[in-house]
Structure 1
Amino acid sequence: MKSKIFLYLFIFAAMIALYQFVSANNMIKDKDKTIESLQTNVANLKDSLQASQLKALDLQYFSLENNDDALAYYDHLNLKDPSLYVSDKLLETNEKKGDNPLIPYEGMESDFKINKIKLLNHKWIVADFSDGKYWGELLLHYELKDDLGVDFTVIDHLLYTRSN
């Protein structure tokens, strides 16, 4: 009787050990799959981040802030941020009653005002304007003078037509 109890205990202990071995082995395989998946995700994220950084650099190519040659024109003026200064001066033209004087169209829904500004270099600006429903773009030439006055000249313009 004693030997049968030991035999049953031995078989029971062997089954528990086998269960633990199989269970641990399955857990290790699952963890390995998870690690491989995470490594693949990290590699994809690195590629995506690198692509985003390259795209951002490409978008900044035509920008006064990143153009040292164009910024050199303003060294003598001691402006901390010439781009912000010129943008503010352009937005000041919106403060007049009625349409912005630089926009050669009359507002249809309300007054045309400049919304978005992109300084390309030390001479040119691309600006977006809208009256709330209709919109267009301007290509402007500007000159920042020594007395910090800014002259704007419209080079070209367009108004998008709505197609319904």
Structure 2
Amino acid sequence: MYLFVFTILLAVIFYANGTKLVESKDQEIEALREQLEEQKSSVDNVAETTLQEDTFSLVSNEEALSYLENRGFDPAEIINKVEEALISRNTAEEDNELIPYEGMNGPFRINKVKLLNHKWAIASFTDGSFWGDLLVSFEIDEEGKVEVFPEKALLYPQN
């Protein structure tokens, strides 16, 4: 009789423990599902943002790519040449000649370039404390030499 009662008591304890374990695992699974959904929506947002950013980019502009390819140029090579044409004008002691402002904490230097199409590029510049953007146009001659022309510049106020 004692063995029967002890076995029933043990079965009840195992059942209660098992039920609690299953419930806690179910809650953990549900929390992980919610995290997965959040991550999926985050990835979708990043993909949409990337698509919007690429709207004004040489690599996603079919007409500009066709223009370059019809002239016999490799778009990746042109991107590198334009970036080099802009960044190579950075010097240690003087402002980049394309930037129409004088650096306050040292010379202004171009640090990032993005080609918008086969004729325009936008560049970011800074002197370490102040920063701005520069819109440039460029021409590519038959030999592939790049000539750059500054169009507009914007210097952000320091807060």
Give TM-score scaled by structure 1 length. Answer: 0.86
Contact 2:109 2:127 (C-alpha < 8 Å) held by counterparts: yes
Deviations 1:94-150 (A, max 9, x none): 248622111122223222211111111111111112222222221111112211111
Quote the Cα distance in structure 1 between the aligned partners of 2:93 and 2:20: 75
Displacement over 6 Å in runs of 4+ = none
Distance 1:26 1:162, change over 3 A: closer
Contact 1:65 1:83 (C-alpha < 8 Å) held by counterparts: no
- Number of the residue aligned with 2:25: 31
Quote the Cα distance in structure 1 between the aligned partners of 2:105 and 2:28: 57
Contact 1:86 1:150 (C-alpha < 8 Å) held by counterparts: yes
Contact 1:77 1:146 (C-alpha < 8 Å) held by counterparts: no
Q: Secondary structure at the match of 1:46?
A: helix
Letter in 1 for 2:135: L
Offset at residue 80 of structure 1 (A): 5.5
Quote the Cα distance in structure 2 between the aligned partners of 1:77 and 1:89: 20
Letter in 2 for 1:102: L
Bigger radius of gyration among the two:
1
Number of residues of Structure 1 aligned to a counterpart in Structure 2: 157
Offset at residue 158 of structure 1 (A): 2.1
Distance 1:23 1:64, change over 3 A: same
Q: Secondary structure at the match of 1:114?
A: strand
Contact 2:68 2:75 (C-alpha < 8 Å) held by counterparts: no
1:150 to 146, 150, 153: 146
Offset at residue 154 of structure 1 (A): 1.5
Contact 1:128 1:137 (C-alpha < 8 Å) held by counterparts: yes
Give me the identity figure in percent: 36
- Number of the residue aligned with 1:69: 63
- Number of the residue aligned with 1:115: 111
Quote the Cα distance in structure 2 between the aligned partners of 1:24 and 1:128: 61
Are positions 1:12 and 2:18 aligned together? Answer: no
Letter in 1 for 2:67: Y
The answer for unaligned runs of 5 or more in structure 2 is: none
Contact 2:137 2:150 (C-alpha < 8 Å) held by counterparts: yes
Distance 1:138 1:68, change over 3 A: same
Are positions 1:91 and 2:87 aligned together? Answer: yes
Superposed CA RMSD: 1.8
The answer for unaligned runs of 5 or more in structure 1 is: 1-6
Are positions 1:130 and 2:126 aligned together? Answer: yes
Quote the Cα distance in structure 2 between the aligned partners of 1:79 and 1:53: 27
148-157 or 130-139, larger mean C-alpha shift: 130-139
Give TM-score scaled by structure 2 length. Answer: 0.88
